């Protein structure tokens, strides 16, 4: 996951530190959401490819003469 770290948090004002923590939390949530969407996208793509492969095996002889 993407992590953000400040070089020296001791010189930051408390309000800045809180905002930094909130920003880091939001970026981690966004990073997790992107990874989750990519995972489901890959799973759906594999599922579609399996369906198309089965369709090609069942109807391949009838469609073979069509040229694109």
Residue-by-residue pLDDT tens, the chain, 68 positions: 444 555 555 555 666 667 778 888 888 888 888 999 999 999 999 999 988 888 777 665 555 555 55
Question: CA of 50: how far to CAs of 26, 39, 44, 46, 64, in Å?
Answer: 36, 17, 10, 6, 19
Shortest CA distance to 54 belongs to which of 43, 65, 46?
46
Using a cut of 0.75, tell me whether the model's pTM lies above it: no
Tell me how far apart the alpha carbons of residues 47 and 41 are, in angstroms, rounded to a whole number.
Answer: 10
* pLDDT score, position 1: 41
């Amino acid at each position: 996951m993407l992590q953000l770290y400040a070089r020296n948090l001791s010189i930051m004002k408390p309000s800045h530190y809180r905002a930094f923590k909130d920003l880091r939390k939001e970026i981690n949530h966004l990073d997790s959401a992107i990874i989750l969407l990519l995972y489901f996208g890959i799973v759906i793509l594999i599922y579609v490819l399996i369906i198309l492969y089965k369709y090609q095996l069942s109807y391949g002889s009838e469609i073979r003469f069509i040229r694109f």
